[in-house]
Amino acid sequence: MKLKVIIASVVIILFIIFGSVSFLQSNVEYTDVTGAMQKHKKVQLKGQWIKDKGSSFDPATTQFTFFLVDDSGKECKVVLDGAAPNNFELATSVVAKGRFTDEGYFHASEVLTKCPSKYEAQGSDVKKQS
């Protein structure tokens, strides 16, 4: 009977450890370009695509490259493994998950886009209700 209790206890402890490690790895903090450069871990970088600098996709390396500016005005190059995210050209803001490399660019594993909502009323479209 004691052997079953010991095995069950070990299994429960392993599940708790695995759950804690998984949670800590998925918990990624938001930061700006300066903070991302200083931290040597995975972060979420929020900003806007600099349309004037364009974007490109290299089929040989399957990497999508663009430039991002954060809320404080600091710019950085972002390299994403994979194709451009859906609706990238329409995005009002961009969140890149990844880390800065020693080569001086932000290497993203994922890029999320926020597009303008089709349900938001424009200034002249709003009617006054009596």
Task: State residue 26's pLDDT score.
Answer: 64
Q: What percent of the chain has pLDDT over 70?
A: 84
The Cα diameter of the chain in Å comes to 76
What average pLDDT does this structure show over 16-26?
77
Report in angstroms the alpha-carbon separations of 14 from 8, 25, 29.
Answer: 10, 17, 26
In whole numbers, what is the pLDDT of the chain averaged over residues?
Answer: 83
The model's confidence at residue 13, banded by pLDDT at 50, 70 and 90, is very high
Residue of higher predicted confidence among 128 and 25: 25
The residue whose two tokens read 């759950």 is: 19
Q: State the amino acid at position 53 in one-letter form.
A: K
Residue of higher predicted confidence among 109 and 27: 109
CATH of the domain spanning 27-114: 2.40.50.140
- Give the DSSP per-residue string, 36-83: HHH--S-EEEEEEE-GGG-EEEETTTTEEEEEEE-TTS-EEEEEEESS
- What is the C-alpha to C-alpha distance for residues 103 and 107, in angstroms, rounded to an integer? 10
Task: State residue 80's pLDDT score.
Answer: 93
pLDDT tens digits along 64-120: 999 999 888 899 999 998 888 888 888 888 899 998 888 889 999 999 888 776 655
114: which DSSP letter? E
Task: State residue 14's pLDDT score.
Answer: 92
- Helix %, strand %, coil % for the chain, to 5? 30, 35, 35
Cβ atoms of residues 61 and 69 within 8 Å: no
